[in-house]
């Protein structure tokens, strides 16, 4: 166990490393949840690694009025919660964790998260396309020198220092609360006027004595030579500069979220994963569904349909009755 794990009360030992799931699904949106419903009904032990209801495109939608079987407009987060409730009622295991890396070759695949390692005979990637593309001035140059995307990984390095968190979703706020255990001050730069999270989480952030919130704050530049020294942002009071030692970025964008894969799977020129008609990638037993494919109209019902296709394909792959081979070329 590392010093950071001891400090956070975490361990990579336990259920996450001892259990071997039939299916590990990364992403709990309509694609991932639909796949899980199909795999669980086929008696396949399934776990979904999900960052939270509002971490994906559907969870942030204010009105959905065209999902079959759901009359009238409904909040995306509410519809997604119904999907999660259905999955849990069937035995789907949901875990609030973020995938950091993966090893996909071999019979047993491994997905490492902030709190452990999940092993599975098959993996379904459903991480969507709201990834941040490192477009902030100074961000890429100072990555690893004060710029981070994981408070659980790096928070302890900023004990008694001031840090900034850029983002307004559940992941950003939970990371801000974690950082507040170490940092002397956490400045939350929310790009939106209102935070996109549950009421309880928003209230906890607003009431925390070490957290200061900046609504409608657009991060413009991360300042520093060898290390992060400050952030420059524009907000309601004009352009401001804050002296900080670390910046944790949780901004949404339009890039497929595949960084945790480490280049193990081929993509097209836009960074989208490639799959065959069964939603299988170039590695047997590894499937991808939803907006991470970037090959369709971005609608929840289409992502859910792809999840269903993958769920059936995983059952066939694991049963051995029909060995699926990649055919995406």
Whether 67 and 78 have beta carbons less than 8 Å apart is answered as no
* H-helix or E-strand spanning residue 88: helix 76-90
Told to judge if 154 belongs to the known catalytic residues of this protein, a careful annotator would answer yes
Query: What phi and psi values does residue 242 have, to the nearest 5 degrees?
Result: -115, 135
Q: Which residue has the tokens 């970037």?
A: 294
Which of the residues 50, 78, 85, 153 is marked catalytic? 153
Which of the residues 22, 50, 154, 245 is marked catalytic? 154
Told to judge if 294 belongs to the known catalytic residues of this protein, a careful annotator would answer no
Told to judge if 19 belongs to the known catalytic residues of this protein, a careful annotator would answer no
Burial of 324 (0-12, 13-18, 19+ CB in 10 A): middle
Provide the token pair at 147.
Answer: 């710029």
What is the 8-class DSSP label of residue 93?
Answer: E
- Contact partners, residue 256, CB within 8 Å, separation at least 6: 127, 128, 129, 131, 267, 270, 271, 272, 273, 291, 292, 293, 294
> What residues act catalytically?
150, 153-154
């Amino acid at each position: 166990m590392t010093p950071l794990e001891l400090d956070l009360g975490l361990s990579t030992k336990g259920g996450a490393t001892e259990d071997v799931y039939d299916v590990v699904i990364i992403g709990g949106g309509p694609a991932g949840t639909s796949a899980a419903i199909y795999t669980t009904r086929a008696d396949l032990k399934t776990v979904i690694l999900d960052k939270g209801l509002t971490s994906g495109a559907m969870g942030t939608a204010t009105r959905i009025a065209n999902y079959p079987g759901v009359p009238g407009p409904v909040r995306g987060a509410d519809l997604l919660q119904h999907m999660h409730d259905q999955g849990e009622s069937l035995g789907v295991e949901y875990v609030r964790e973020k995938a950091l890396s993966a090893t996909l070759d071999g019979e047993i695949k491994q997905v490492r998260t902030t709190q452990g390692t999940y092993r599975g005979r098959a993996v379904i990637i459903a991480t969507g396309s709201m990834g941040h593309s490192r477009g902030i001035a100074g961000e890429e140059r100072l990555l690893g020198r004060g710029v981070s995307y994981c408070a659980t990984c790096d928070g302890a390095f900023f004990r008694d220092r001031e840090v900034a968190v850029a983002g307004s979703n559940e992941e950003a706020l939970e990371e801000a609360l974690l950082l507040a255990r170490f940092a002397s001050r956490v400045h939350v730069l929310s790009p939106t006027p209102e935070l996109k999270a549950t009421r309880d989480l928003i209230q906890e952030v607003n009431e925390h004595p070490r957290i200061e919130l900046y609504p409608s704050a657009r991060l413009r530049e991360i300042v520093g030579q060898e290390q992060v020294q400050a952030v420059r942002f524009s907000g309601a009071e004009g352009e401001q500069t804050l002296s900080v030692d670390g910046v944790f970025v949780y901004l949404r964008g339009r890039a497929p979220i595949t960084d945790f894969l480490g280049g193990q799977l081929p993509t097209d020129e836009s960074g989208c994963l490639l799959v065959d008609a069964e939603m299988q990638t170039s590695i047997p037993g590894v499937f991808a569904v939803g907006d991470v494919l970037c090959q369709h109209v971005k609608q929840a019902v289409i992502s859910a349909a792809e999840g269903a296709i993958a769920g059936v394909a995983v059952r066939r792959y694991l049963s051995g009755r029909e060995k699926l081979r990649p055919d995406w070329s």
